[in-house]
Structure 1
Amino acid sequence: MVPNKNTYTKTGSAELTKILAEMNEKGSFAISVLTDLQGFPIAYATTEGYDPERQAAVVAMVQKTAIQVKNHLGMGQTDEVCLFDEEGCRLVSRTFRVKNYELILALQIPDKHQSYRSLMNHSIKSIQRVWKL
């Protein structure tokens, strides 16, 4: 389902939600969620039929698993985690820091050939800018 800007449900900080909604629209993403490390949703933009609270909780669980893997394998800090299903749908989560807060931005991307990094990077920079105000 391709998101339509008129069907977005918005919550949280209006500026943060606007950033997420614009990213979803430009990238045709079904849902994007900004959470803290515990999975508390700070802001989200989604099309109808998606549960942002559940997505936020899953993203936090994925991030905790990535941290455990990093610790067991002696890897450096993980910056992005991707999960693919058999049909190519991806869940991408990326951690980043704003002031003293570590946050997670997660997207659900319906097509495995769809690009997302540029939009995600731009949105993270916009979130950092808004958060610092």
Structure 2
Amino acid sequence: MKYRKNDEFSTSLDKQRSKEALSGHFKSLRLRTEETADGLEVHSGSDAMFRLLGPLGTRRIPVGLTIQLEAQNGRTHVKSSAFDRLGWYLNDHLVFGTEEALERKLESLLHEVRSALGEGRQSKTIT
């Protein structure tokens, strides 16, 4: 895992409603979604298909998203981490344009978390 972006914010929804909203949203996007004790894990793309067919379209780029939800006084604190799921490669460099597409895909996943919970980008803390 070489590429990672993080975001955190608070929402007025309680933890259970936040989890339900996120799960429904990512499933509607046809992403593999698994509920965990404290949030969700989302996966997209395939390293095998990416290796075989290359970066033809961003949907093939293998990425993951971990969302942690923490209840705080009727609100929910949300921590999101989007990351690549690229396996081991002989060459450390990605094909031309793939790195930018991967960065955009990670940013897009973090945006989808906020979107699912009705939050804008005003108070973003993306690293």
Taking structure 1 as the reference length, the TM-score comes to 0.29
Larger Rg: 2
Taking structure 2 as the reference length, the TM-score comes to 0.30
Q: Choose between structure 1 and 2 for higher RCO, CA contacts under 8 A separated by at least 6 residues.
A: 2
